Structure 1
Amino acid sequence: MEKKSFTFDEIKQKLINYCVYQDRCHAEVEQKMREFLLIDEAKEEIFLFLLKENYLNEERFTRSYIRGKFYIKHWGRNKIKMHLKQKQISERLMNTCFDEIYEDDYMKTISRIYEDYSSKQKGMQEYQRKSKTIKYLMSRGFEYEKIIDIFAEN
């Protein structure tokens, strides 16, 4: 099947719509641009336009990504960081944006997931249940030290 060719303005509009639909990071927009056979100058012009008009804002993307992955998906900081790294978000930007997660909410979430998961582990010794629950929480991206803090309370 032959690729439909678009004019510069059509491509620009498609990329605006792509950014308006949901916050995007630079890497996602660059990936999307590869679908269109654009010369480098055209890519750069569109990219700068998206930045200038605030359709593309890496900090806004990072903040909304962190909020969504924590408050909706209940991921821990480590898992969120790993996924942001894959999206080529800088360590510095990540660190400034993690204030989107309130420490209190973070600890309550670990505690809630701990309770839920642990209560479903039947027919095993306490230490087995504990170690399985720790592994589970770590796989969700929560830090070992924080998980241990929750165990100290329970």
Structure 2
Amino acid sequence: MTDVVKDAIRKAAMFCAYQERTQQEVRDRLKEWGVWGDDAEEVIASLIEQNYLNEERFAKTFAGSKFRVKGWGKRKIKQHLQQRGIAGYNLEQAMKEIASDDYKSTLTDLLARKRRSIHDDNPLVVKQKLVRYALSKGYESDLIFAVLGSEE
């Protein structure tokens, strides 16, 4: 193992210890540091071995926190994970972090909060704005209409 690789492993370990990362984020950072090819793959393999880098753990943490903190829906979370190179098993595990009871109640709370901020007398306009808002948060349209339908 060369000194460049050892140094890159040390720096990348600190990078991963600060916050959960994906392999792609580490690869991009290694490129910035001038490490690529087999050296970069050796660094990533070492980080996985030492458990600094774990994409399943990243996906679960990402999905859980975006849902709980930002109120994102599954569609938006899934899209952002896919943009970060997370797919297959890790994506499925991340989606399991969101309990269906919590999911529906979070959507209900979001819509109630949003409804209070809408100052319009026309119920169709209000419903349209609520639907658009929930869709932008990444919730599924059938669930949105089910929640809005149960409130009327």
TM-score by length of 1: 0.91
Counterpart Cα distance in 1 of 2:118 and 2:102: 24
2:141 to 141, 144, 149: 144
Structure 2 vs 1, CA of residues 48 and 125 (structure 1 numbering), >3 Å: closer, same or farther? same
Deviation at 1:24, TM superposition (A): 0.6
Seen in structure 2, the aligned counterparts of structure 1 residues 38 and 153 have a Cα distance that, compared at 3 Å, is: same
Correspondence 1:102 to 2:99: yes
Cα distance in structure 2, aligned partners of 1:23 and 1:152: 39
- The answer for the alignment partner of 1:41 in structure 2 is 38
Counterpart for residue 65 of structure 1:
62
| Structure 1: 5+ residue stretches without partners | 1-5
Corresponding residue to 2:48 among 32, 47, 51? 51
Aligned 1:1-154 pairs, distance under 5 A: 7-154=4-151
Change (3 A) 1:39 1:59: closer
TM-score by length of 2: 0.92
Q: How many pairs align? A: 149
Structure 2 unpaired stretches of 5+: none
Spell out, residue by residue over 1:72-114, the C-alpha distance to the aligned partner (whole angstroms, 9 max, x if none).
1111111111111110111442123211111111111100011
Runs of 4+ in 1 over 4 A off after TM superposition: none
CA positional deviation for 1:148:
1.2
